[in-house]
Each structure stands twice: as C-alpha cells, then as structure tokens.
Amino acid sequence: MTDQRGAEPDEIGPAVYGFVSGADARAIGGAVVTLAGANGEQVARTGTQADGGYEFHLAAGGSYVLVVSSTALSPDLPPVAARVEVADGPVRHDVALGGPAPDGGPGPDRGELRATVRAGSTGSAVAGAAVLVSAADGTVAGSGTTGADGAFTLADLAPGTYTLTAAGHAPVVQVVRVAPGEALPLRIELGTESSRDSAAGGTPVGN
C-alpha cells in the first residue's frame, strides 16, 4: 500500500518532519519528539499527531540530534535517536520504534548519573561529545558535553526513567533508570560515521 502521508511542510526553509511508527508500521500518536543541537541543548520539542506525524521549522540548517520516545505511553518501546543533517530546505526523517525496554523502577530519593563516552572502535575517551538527558515526557533534565576524559555527570535527578543520548559520531541512545541515592555509572560506546544513524547502547561500568 502506498504511504499517502509525507507532504513537505508548506513553509519554505530549514525544517525536519516525518512520521513515527511501531515495528508493525502502525502510526504512533502522542510520542514525544525532541530536537537537540550539536551541543546537546534542546532546540524544540513536540508530540506526534494521530497519524504519527511531527514537524519542526528551524531558524537555520545544521547538524541536529532527533530523539523519539513513547515510553510514557508504551514502556515496551524504547526511544530512538538519530542524527539529522539539515540544509536550506525540509528534511524528512521517519522513525520506527520497537524492541524491549529494561526492567527496573523508581525510588523516593534523588540520584546521579555518571556517563563515560568512548569510541566503539578504539575504546578511547571521546571529548566534546554532546550528551542530552530527557525524562519520559521529553522534558530535558540536563545536557552538556564530555570532558577530556569522556566523562559527563548529572546530579540531583529525581528517581525515574530517563533517555540518555550521546552524539559525537553516530548518536547512541539508552534508557536508564535512576534509583534513590544511587550514582549510576555508565560506559557509552559511540560508533563511527558509517554506523547506523540510530542504535541502543551503553554498558554499566564494571560489567
């Protein structure tokens, strides 16, 4: 069946638009779509329409990271992140969600997330990688860039489920659960420019 969706935005200029569906190709309405800049800062956030569509109009082209999450609606669908390059016109980027989500649960106290970003090919630390941490509803809990040792720390987090996106090569997205009083250590391995533009990754340090 031909997909009748996907008409380009009416307005001329830089834009990102597309449709979010499940593994069965059915549209997912109400998913949270977050667009972040190359520095990890949130540029815009929206929810998908009933047909799964979303649309962002941008002030300028550039390199962006798109994060799509529906964990608040369907916990069995983990989020997906992708790098999107925008020039001077609209760019379509469709997203298919699917796969299992990790087990776990929130607690009553605050927690901390400590991530170390390394290159998947060499294992060396990646300095200057953009890291974005967002809650299940798409609200950004924190963002920044890794230091010379590839480390990034975000403290004073309320317990719950967060989506961590690291972008330095092909972006990597991981669902993490912050427990009460816990400093959660993670090792995130980035792929290369030739890697898929979306992947689930990250390993607890010591595992």
pLDDT tens per residue across span 166-188: 876 667 777 888 877 777 777 77
DSSP structure string for 85-125: EE-SSEEE--EE--S--------SS-EEEEEEEEETTT--B
Domain 15-96 in CATH 2.40.50.140: no
Residue entry with tokens 């427990």: 179
Q: Which residue has the tokens 């379509």?
A: 92
Q: Are 44 and 86 in contact (CB under 8 A)?
A: no
Bridge-partner residues for 90, per DSSP?
Answer: 15
Q: How do 15-21 and 42-47 pair as beta strands?
A: unpaired
Residue 86: phi and psi, rounded to 5, are -115, 130
- Report, at the CATH architecture level, how domain 111-204 is classified: Sandwich (2.60)
Which pLDDT score is estimated for 207? 35
Residue 106 and residue 177 in contact, taking contact as beta carbons nearer than 8 Å: yes
| pTM assigned to the model | 0.56
Residue 125's Cβ-side half-sphere holds a number of Cα atoms within 13 Å equal to 12
C-alpha distance from residue 204 to each of 28, 101, 174 (Å): 30, 16, 11
- Fold: same for 15-96 and 111-204: yes
Of 148 and 106, more confident = 148
pLDDT at 51 over 90: yes
Taking CA atoms, 19 is separated from 30, 36, 68, in Å, by 12, 18, 10
Name the residue ranges covered by the structural domains of the chain: 15-96, 111-204
Residue 197 structure tokens: 């533009």
Range with lowest mean pLDDT among 48-62, 94-108, 147-161: 94-108
Query: Which residue type does 162 have?
Result: Y
